Structure 1
Amino acid sequence: MIYTAIDTFYLTDEQLRDSPSRKDGIDEAAEASLRVYGCDLIQESGILLKLPQAVMATAQVLFHRFYCKKSFARFSAKRVAASCVWLAGKLEESPRRSKHIIFVFHRMECRRENLPIEFLDVFSTKYTELRHDLIRTERHLLKEMGFICHVEHPHKFISNYLATLEAPELTQEAWNLANDSLRTTLCVRFKSEVVACGVVYAAARRHRVPLPEDPPWWTVFDADEAGIQEVCKVLAHLYSLPKAQYIPVYKDNDSFSVRRASDTQASKESPASAVASDRGTAVPSSSSQEKNSLTKAGPEKVKENSDNKDKPVPAELNGKGDQAVNSKSEKSESNVDRTEERERSRSRGRDRDSRGRDSDRDRERDRAKRHRSRDKTSGYSDKEKSRHRSSRDRGGYYSSGDKDRRRHH
């Protein structure tokens, strides 16, 4: 007997209450909010990537199935959502490149957290980290699913049920409710037939369309009244919730942006250090910054220091204070001397380059004059040679004719 594992991934209410997230100290409200937030990311990214609705629905089901076995505290909701979109695109034969998925999630995070939208360089360390993490998370998804990623959506049952019930005007409303049901755990609690009957029932109640009740219409479609009522209850609770916000329960950094949201204040205080950290260069220390400022300063500061030396020093600055002042003045004088030497060497190099260029130009001019004189002399000699040759040919012609005439006579 061969068993297929298509409809085996369904959990009971007790199993959902004892989820790995609850064991890590995440309460029910926070877990539900993170689930809705991840599904919102999947839906929005699918629209930006121009993916069909089947890809987004599959990605949302994979998202819920993964967090039934793993905790939000150990796997980032943002990274898992991106990997679900990438994997679902392959399953539904609408693949997208990893680069495009990373760019879309990076832009969405910047827009959602009010961060400046910056360009994410493909050759940066941040991009390589995100790409490796995307591949790694996809492996975790496949491992937890046991490589069984088949998903059956309630959408394909809705049109058949409404055609049988002769209520085609409820198609759009039921379709929208089915899309919203994917933000909840209904896909891991009930079969697709039960969810389809629940959204059809909710759409009929909203538009006040009567459906046959004697016998009940849902018995024909292998559904029960308790399941339909639970589906309607979960959807009503979903619509009563505010807009989902991200809750930072993940311990490590899970940001798609170049700068973290917590580092925005520090970057405002010191923008140079933020840019240096983004590029991967070392941030200069305070002592090096002081040295750079001293080297950039001209002889004006040296004059000020000399003026300050002439002034009388108070009694409090004797001893160690005098040594510190003298050391600072010596450093500034040495830095100024170095800058002057550099400028002198640069000016010498420029003079040498200009002299070399002038000498090269003179040589080229002399060469051009010599070639012109040679061309003139060669032109005259060639003309004269041609004239001599023509005269010789003429003389030879006449001389041969005279010889023939003499022989004839």
Structure 2
Amino acid sequence: MTWPYPPNVWLFTAEELVNTPSVREGISVQSETTLRAKGASFLVAVGMQVRLPPHTLYVAATLFHRFYVRFSLKRHHHYDVAATCIFLASKVEETGRKIKDLVVACCRVAQKNDTLVVDEQTKEYWRWRDIILFTEELLLEATCFDLTVRSPYSPLVFLTRRLVPDESKRNALSKSAWAFINDSVRTELCLRFSSNLIAAAAFYFASRVCHVDIGSEWWSDLDLSIDNIKDACNIMADLYEPADKLGEQKYTRLTN
């Protein structure tokens, strides 16, 4: 790949992201953060049901977060938008799934029943199908038909191959960093930082967790800010309070 990706116009400051349509309509910043995380978790669960690849799920989650920069959670339920983002992302990334399969997965995940029988004879089937098709137009409007999303996975591969020559260490670090990126879809990282920086943050965070020496000042050659990398790491770390799901250890915020 060529480093870096081109500039991303869908980036916002922390101050801008506490003045969203949802906040202006009375939803607290904390509540919006929680609802976004729930929507993204629903999105991933549905995507896994229909076996979508990680990069498609990342695109879907990014579209999800972009939607709520323009529209309010008070007016559009996070599950409805999440389902629509999966549908649209699967088409954009050419990993299309039949809408019937997506609708069945949405019903099962929403009702927390993996064996739920859903077909064209059930009201829930048609309700979800209509929601997805109706919300798709709003999603296209919210994103201004800009459906270009570059996930951090390719930049992560570039970094690990360039900076970690030892294969065994590289594999361990890659696995950890990949997991951080997967989990980051529950946050607004994709609205704060470029895919290059998110990859670098996951790489840096994983190097600390896996105790892999990646050298110093490596970020300078990539035209990245270590302060921004640490800010992104700390947003990731907040997901794992008080204990992370991989090692039952508490990730500490990075100050050095």
Q: TM-score range by the shorter chain?
A: 0.7 to 0.9
Tell me what 1:89 maps to. 90
Question: What's the TM-score once normalised by structure 1's chain length?
Answer: 0.54
* Deviation of 1:6 (Å): 6.5
Q: What are the ranges of 5 or more consecutive residues in structure 2 without an aligned counterpart? A: 1-5, 245-256
Tell me what 2:251 maps to. none
Q: Is the 8 A contact 2:219 2:225 kept in 1?
A: yes
Tell me what 1:164 maps to. 162
- CA 1:43/1:125 → structure 2, altered by over 3 Å: closer, same or farther? closer
CA distance in 1 between partners of 2:37 and 2:130 (Å): 26
* Deviation of 1:226 (Å): 1.2
Once the two structures are superposed, the pairs formed by residues 312-351 of structure 1 within 5 Å of their partners are: none
Query: Secondary structure at 2:239's aligned position in 1?
Result: helix
* Deviation of 1:125 (Å): 4.7
Out of 195, 200, 213, which is 1:210 matched to?
Answer: 213
The answer to which structure has the higher helix fraction is: 1
CA distance in 1 between partners of 2:243 and 2:21 (Å): 25
Out of 186, 190, 210, which is 1:187 matched to?
Answer: 190
* Deviation of 1:51 (Å): 1.2
Q: Which runs of 4+ in 1 moved over 6 A?
A: none
Aligned length: 234
Q: Is the 8 A contact 1:42 1:85 kept in 2?
A: yes
CA distance in 2 between partners of 1:201 and 1:152 (Å): 20
Question: What's the TM-score once normalised by structure 2's chain length?
Answer: 0.85
- The alignment-based identity, stated in percent, is 31
Name the larger-Rg structure: 1
Query: Secondary structure at 2:38's aligned position in 1?
Result: helix
- CA 1:241/1:65 → structure 2, altered by over 3 Å: closer, same or farther? farther
* Deviation of 1:127 (Å): 3.2
Counterpart of 2:157, as a letter, is: S
* Deviation of 1:102 (Å): 1.2
Q: Is the 8 A contact 2:104 2:119 kept in 1?
A: no
Write out per-residue CA displacement over residues 18-67 of structure 1, whole angstroms, 9 at most, x where no aligned residue: 01111111112211111111111111111110111111111011101101
Once the two structures are superposed, the pairs formed by residues 53-68 of structure 1 within 5 Å of their partners are: 53-68=54-69
Out of 128, 131, 154, which is 1:130 matched to?
Answer: 128
Q: Is the 8 A contact 2:106 2:128 kept in 1?
A: no
CA distance in 2 between partners of 1:57 and 1:25 (Å): 28
Once the two structures are superposed, the pairs formed by residues 250-265 of structure 1 within 5 Å of their partners are: none
Query: Secondary structure at 1:13's aligned position in 2?
Result: coil
* Deviation of 1:158 (Å): 0.9
CA distance in 1 between partners of 2:189 and 2:66 (Å): 11
* Deviation of 1:220 (Å): 1.2
Counterpart of 2:223, as a letter, is: D
Once the two structures are superposed, the pairs formed by residues 182-331 of structure 1 within 5 Å of their partners are: 182-213=185-216, 216-240=217-241
Q: Is the 8 A contact 1:6 1:150 kept in 2?
A: no
Tell me what 2:179 maps to. 176
Tell me what 1:69 maps to. 70
* Deviation of 1:132 (Å): 2.0
Tell me what 1:343 maps to. none
Tell me what 1:25 maps to. 26
Query: Secondary structure at 2:146's aligned position in 1?
Result: coil
CA distance in 1 between partners of 2:125 and 2:156 (Å): 42
Q: What are the ranges of 5 or more consecutive residues in structure 1 without an aligned counterpart? A: 244-409
